[in-house]
Amino acid sequence: MSSDKRKKAPDQPELPIEGVQAAAGDAQAAKKAAESDTRGEQHVVAEAVEAVVHKLFDPKKLEVGLHTRVDKGFLEYASYVIRDRAIANLADGLKPVQRRILWSLHQRDDGRFSKVATIAGHCAQYHPHGEASINDALVVLTNKRYLIEGQGNFGNIYTGDPAAAPRYIECRLTELARTDLFNDEITELVPSYDGRNQEPVTLPCKLPLTLMLGTEGIAVGLSARILPHNFPELIAAQIAILKKQPFKCLPDFPTGGLMDARDYQDGKGSVKVRAKIKTKDEATVVIKEIPPTTTTDSLIASIEDAVQKGKLKVKAINDFTSENVEIEIKCPAGVDAEKLVDALYAFTACEVSIASRIVVIKDNRPVELTVSEILRENTEALVAILKRELELRQQALQDELHYRTLERIFIEERIYKLIEKCKTADAVTAAVHAGFQPFQRQLVRDLVAADVERLLQVRIRRISLFDINQHREEMEKVKAGLAETLKHLQQLTKYVVGHLEALLEKYGPLYPRLTTKSARHEEVDVKAAAFKSFKVAYDREAGYVGYKVNGDEFKLECTKFDKVLLVFKDGTYKVTELPEKLFVGPELFYCGLPDREAVFTCAYTDRKASYLKRFKFGGTILNKAYLCIPDKSRILFFAPATPKVLYVRYKPAPHQKINQQTCDPAKIEIKGPKTRGRQISIKDISSVTAEPTRGWEERATTTEIVFA
């Protein structure tokens, strides 16, 4: 170690040996002095220790050192969680616990099922976080179908029911995992957490597991969510990459559903997935597939919650789910099944949006990639692995061909006779080398000591029963295999494409797409889909308005999203949220649903005259009070739309010849709520109605008001 490395960081407190020794001497001296001090030894020693502490530890330097240690420790912890627990590795698409489970299954694989508890116990020698996490991860891997085959109750991905206890269920590797996930010759091993065993850094995986399995991980300051994709489609995309053709891959979820992936851009963005809902009859709908991230229980709970909040109406819900999803929903009387389907998509978990963020470990660092980048990396890794396997096979075939040639010459040319008179090991070796000297050109490579040792172990029975014809046939097979391997190495891309096409042909029918792709979901208008489940009324005597008020005036059927327009006698109006029970007093003149384009007719009076106008409220700010008539005025008549005739009655007055009149409001132009309107009269008006009231006299004194 260099002197630079031995130096401490400048921000750490330095404790020189000389200082420690001097402080220790001071403490000893203080102790001796305490023996003769009348204050007592204990008090003096305490003062000495305090002096030593202040001399050794500068509080400022100690604080800096503590911060450094905390920062370093937290960084190491964060790095461990990101790299060794939560985030999958790009090389094989697995998290550490998944890799250790598969490695344990590989080590114990004999083709038969093993108890999950047994595998978890074996895996615990590699995984330092307990068997509970191993059991959970193994169940999840089994339910993803590709790598582990289960026997027993591994739970239900539709209902969310948990798996049975590990001692009751069994598992083993699938054929796909056995053939395309392991190769002990090229697997790099490192010591396990306790140093007693060897575990793989990554598995030599030939499958695009990162996108096949999909995964979620939450680490320190980092999260990943990789959506699962369809296995045959991923293989077809890898073939397209090798052939330099365009490709596109979309997610595929084990629960099925209908997917809108217009916002999913090569692994970035999100997808919307809907439940598959069929209309059984006019009053019944059936949910046949559910979106991911939901279960039948959570889906039913979301429907019940929407019903309680008044967003939709349902008569009954029956769950008949077993191996397949089947949730039957009955519509109440007067509710159309098609409208109920729209409401289910709008207000329940029948439609979910799932965001995607592909973060993986690459070269010991977390990186964010796209689907195409992941597939290209996986394809390059596949080419490298297959090339390495071909090279190993080539080497093995060359070694076998070399030894079979040695064996044939050794027996046919009776070289073994030369060693009968040799008395030392060196003489035996020299005799064998001398015997092969004339046949050097027939050898694949030069003779080495290991070859001599192997030849000397040939048994007499093997020599006596040697069949030259059979031997030549076996050598021809070896030569043919070697020639084929060399051909594959020369045409590596073609060989890899053939490997992928064989996978696609064998496993394509076993893993069909489950989630149906759709170009675009028809957007559901939330307000249009909402049911009118709330009945708003006004109790003038009590002064309350709302859907929990028992009143006889202004009865409205509203949805959860409706607003309410309130107009008072003094001309004040405002738009408010759907009230539960709101006190407004006895002066409410109108209560209805706001419409910016709706036309209202209003007659009002001030101290000097009375006026009539037609107007539209237009836009308003929620819960803000406005005036639709001048200040200190009073509304005489207010109604939506335009009545055909208004009947105006005046208060009796001396020498008054006309006591009642009619008018046609349609002759007044439509303006805004702040318009003054047209003057009716300067007389005091007793009433303005849309229908003739009791006592209305049909006589010559009734005239029509002419607006100037």
Q: Is it the case that residue 57 has pLDDT exceeding 60?
A: no
pTM of the model: 0.73
The predicted pLDDT at position 15 comes to: 39
378's CB contacts (< 8 A; 6+ apart) are 90, 93, 207, 208, 210, 238
**Model confidence at 18, in pLDDT bands (50, 70, 90)?**
very low
The predicted pLDDT at position 441 comes to: 86
**Residue 145: exposure state from Cβ atoms within 10 A (0-12, 13-18, ≥19):** middle
Instruction: Give, in degrees to the nearest 5, the angle at Cα 29 between 25 and 34.
Output: 150
CA 26 from centroid of its chain's CA atoms: 64
* CA distance linking residue 632 with residue 617, whole number of Å: 20
| Terminal C-alpha separation, the chain | 107
* CA distance linking residue 645 with residue 114, whole number of Å: 90
The predicted pLDDT at position 43 comes to: 56
Tell me the pLDDT tens digit for each residue of 449-459.
888 888 887 77
Highest mean pLDDT among 195-204, 325-334, 551-560, 578-587: 195-204
Query: What type of residue sits at position 502?
Result: A
Q: Is it the case that residue 114 has pLDDT exceeding 80?
A: yes
The predicted pLDDT at position 119 comes to: 96
Mean pLDDT over 689-706 rounds to 72
* CA distance linking residue 697 with residue 690, whole number of Å: 15
102: nearest Cα among 121, 118, 123, 86: 123
Query: What type of residue sits at position 702?
Result: T
Tell me the pLDDT tens digit for each residue of 454-474.
888 777 666 667 677 788 888
Counting other chains too, the contacts that 109-115 makes at CB distance below 8 Å and 24 or more residues apart are 109/172, 109/173, 109/178, 111/172, 112/172, 113/151, 113/170, 113/171, 113/172, 114/170, 114/171, 114/172, 115/166, 115/167, 115/169, 115/170
Q: Is it the case that residue 14 has pLDDT exceeding 60?
A: no
**Residue 424: exposure state from Cβ atoms within 10 A (0-12, 13-18, ≥19):** exposed
| Helix, strand, or coil (residue 544) | strand
Mean pLDDT over 653-662 rounds to 82
The predicted pLDDT at position 1 comes to: 40
**Model confidence at 47, in pLDDT bands (50, 70, 90)?**
low
Tell me the pLDDT tens digit for each residue of 326-337.
999 998 887 888
Catalytic positions, written as ranges: 168
Query: What type of residue sits at position 401?
Result: L
The predicted pLDDT at position 28 comes to: 53
The predicted pLDDT at position 253 comes to: 95
Query: Which stretch of 22-26, 170-174, 193-197 has the lowest confidence by average pLDDT?
Result: 22-26
* CA distance linking residue 708 with residue 700, whole number of Å: 22
Mean pLDDT over 528-547 rounds to 82
Q: Is it the case that residue 284 has pLDDT exceeding 70?
A: yes
The predicted pLDDT at position 520 comes to: 62
The predicted pLDDT at position 448 comes to: 87
Mean pLDDT over 476-486 rounds to 92
Q: Is it the case that residue 395 has pLDDT exceeding 80?
A: yes
Strand partners, 703: 661
Highest mean pLDDT among 2-16, 158-172, 301-315, 458-472: 158-172
Average pLDDT, the chain: 85
* CA distance linking residue 108 with residue 124, whole number of Å: 14
366: nearest Cα among 70, 97, 86: 86
Q: Is it the case that residue 550 has pLDDT exceeding 60?
A: yes
Q: Is it the case that residue 33 has pLDDT exceeding 60?
A: no
Q: What percent of the chain has pLDDT over 90?
A: 44
Q: Is it the case that residue 387 has pLDDT exceeding 90?
A: yes
* CA distance linking residue 231 with residue 252, whole number of Å: 9
Query: What type of residue sits at position 585?
Result: G
- Other beta carbons within 10 angstroms of residue 288's beta carbon come to 14
Tell me the pLDDT tens digit for each residue of 342-386.
889 888 999 999 999 999 999 989 999 999 999 999 999 999 999
CA distances from 346 to 561, 658, 695 (A): 12, 60, 54
Identify the sign of the CA torsion 96, 97, 98, 104. positive
Mean pLDDT over 290-303 rounds to 94
Q: Is it the case that residue 237 has pLDDT exceeding 50?
A: yes
Mean pLDDT over 601-611 rounds to 88
CA distances from 544 to 457, 535, 538, 581, 587 (A): 107, 14, 6, 6, 11
Query: Which stretch of 382-386, 586-590, 657-661 has the lowest confidence by average pLDDT?
Result: 657-661
- Other beta carbons within 10 angstroms of residue 468's beta carbon come to 10
The predicted pLDDT at position 16 comes to: 41
Identify the sign of the CA torsion 503, 509, 515, 517. positive
Highest mean pLDDT among 274-283, 403-412, 485-494, 592-601: 485-494
341: nearest Cα among 270, 295, 288, 262: 288
Q: Is it the case that residue 316 has pLDDT exceeding 70?
A: yes
Q: Where are the alpha helices (DSSP H) in 437-542?
A: 449-456, 460-464, 468-490, 492-507, 526-529
Two structure tokens written together for 604: 């009002």
313's CB contacts (< 8 A; 6+ apart) are 307, 331, 332, 335, 340, 531, 533
495's CB contacts (< 8 A; 6+ apart) are 386, 390, 488, 489
Domains of the chain, earliest start first: 8-78 (no CATH), 88-205 (3.90.199.10), 381-510 (1.10.268.10), 532-582 (no CATH), 595-708 (no CATH)
Question: What are the b/e assignments for 294-325, b being 16+ CB within 10 Å?
Answer: bbbeebbebbeebbeebbbbbeeeeeebeeeb
Mean pLDDT over 13-34 rounds to 45
Q: Is it the case that residue 195 has pLDDT exceeding 50?
A: yes
